[in-house]
Amino acid sequence: MSEALPGERIEDKSLGDLVALASSNISGLVRAEMELAKLEIKNDAKKAALGSVMFAVAGLIAGLIVILLSISLAYGLVALGIWHWAAFLIVAGLYLLLAAGLIAFGYLRIRKIDGARRTRRTLRDDLSMLRHRGEPDTPAPTE
């Protein structure tokens, strides 16, 4: 019998029963914690999905706004006396310059990625220490 009944004294149980009771309680606790974690992750995933859908819709609306503002800018240039084709070409040229600047900025940021250099070094040191049973990696003296 590995569960404590109401009114039963723990002191009356054998060591084997107590170990079985503790093991049962621990495994029940672990199962309950895992179930709670699953429910929380599922809830968070739903919130993240809804949030990402809202960001996607906002991005689509922002794209439409940029298109409308671009057309407005082109027609504003037309109102200043620039030909239609030239006004739209100027707006396209502005976007080309913006895209080139963003590409250059992104390229410079990507070049700064060091590929987790410190993590690779510490992992290499840890593996070396494990191979040498905790002794630091020192070269053997040559005679």
Residues 74 and 29 occupy one common structural domain: yes
What is the number of structural domains in the chain? 2
The pLDDT score that the predictor gives to residue 22 is 82
Sequence-distant (6+) residues with CB within 8 A of 23 are 2
Q: How would residue 63 be classed by pLDDT, with cut points 50, 70 and 90?
A: very high
Residue 3 and residue 21 in contact, taking contact as beta carbons nearer than 8 Å: yes
For the chain, the average pLDDT equals 86
Residues 21 and 61 occupy one common structural domain: yes
Residues 39 and 63 occupy one common structural domain: yes
* Structure-model confidence comparison of residues 110 and 115, the more confident one: 110
pTM, to two decimals: 0.54
Say if 139 falls within a structural domain: no
Q: Which of 29-33, 109-113, 122-126 has the lowest mean pLDDT?
A: 122-126
- Domain housing 40: 14-82
The pLDDT score that the predictor gives to residue 1 is 47
Interatomic CA distance for residues 141 and 143, integer angstroms: 7
Residues 64 and 118 occupy one common structural domain: no
Residues 19 and 78 occupy one common structural domain: yes
Say if 8 falls within a structural domain: no
* DSSP E strand stretches across the chain: none
Residues 93 and 58 occupy one common structural domain: no
